[in-house]
Amino acid sequence: MPTLLLAEDDAAIAETVLYALRAEGFDAEHVLLGGQVLPRLQRGGIDLLVLDVGLPDISGFEVCRRLRETHGLPVIFLTARSDEIDRVLGLEIGADDYMAKPFSPRELVARVRARLRRHEAAPSSRRGCFELDEEAHRIRFAGHWLELTRYEHALLAELLRRPGAILTRAQLLDRVWADALETGERTVDTHIKTLRAKLRQLDPARDPIRTHRGLGYSVDVD
Ligand code: CA
């Protein structure tokens, strides 16, 4: 059964939501603060996040913006005000859906189901020891979904789209850092270095990113 995380500071709402989810057979965990969300996600095992916008420490929007740098899991916002809904509907926050308070717990459960189904059906392609999930912006390696920053993810995804092909630093800068203000070829090297370190942590024996002197980088997926 999927495990959900609920971030909600209102005890009455949290209790109702948790009850409804558990009654439908979901495992549901609960945190009260925005600052508790990322540490919990980092420990793994959460399939969907239900996130209140009005949390006492960090707003749900900020929590979502931060987690989107590394996590592709579906996020359903709980909002209390119409101006919040306007922001949720803006694309940049990265929400998958929202419910306006007061809402019916049954409706929330239906939305949760729909999101999980869609998420599972997202196209994801195997590339040897990697799995690139384009829709959810995540990459699996050695059996684990990688915790990558936005640029690390974009860089590895770019290499994985054509395994074995050598991409020059200029090409990578152009495709991965198109919207960044200050970059140089060192930017690519720095991110390759952190990527390698993260891959090595999961599988020290494999070193799938190849450096081609004077040319650029490629990735081996065999
Ligand atoms: Ca609240």
3-state SS track over the chain: CCEEEEECCCHHHHHHHHHHHHHCCCEEEEECCHHHHHHHHHCCCCCEEEEECCCCCCCHHHHHHHHCCCCCCCEEEEECCHHHHHHHHCHHHCCCEEEECCCCHHHHHHHHHHHHHHHHHCCCEEECCEEEECCCCEEEECCEECCCCHHHHHHHHHHHHCCCCCEEHHHHHHHHCCCCCCCCHHHHHHHHHHHHHHHHHHCCCCCCEEEECCCEEEECCC
Residue 167 has pLDDT above 90, yes or no: yes
Q: For residue 211, what pLDDT band results from cuts at 50, 70 and 90?
A: very high
Interval 68-112: pLDDT, tens: 777 778 899 999 887 777 666 654 566 778 899 999 999 999 999
Separation of CA 148 and ligand 1 centre (Å): 29
Which domains are seen in the chain, by residue range?
3-120 (3.40.50.2300), 125-219 (1.10.10.10)
Separation of CA 79 and ligand 1 centre (Å): 8
Separation of CA 38 and ligand 1 centre (Å): 18
Please tell me whether the overall predicted TM-score, pTM, comes out greater than 0.95 for this model: no
Residue 6 has pLDDT above 60, yes or no: yes
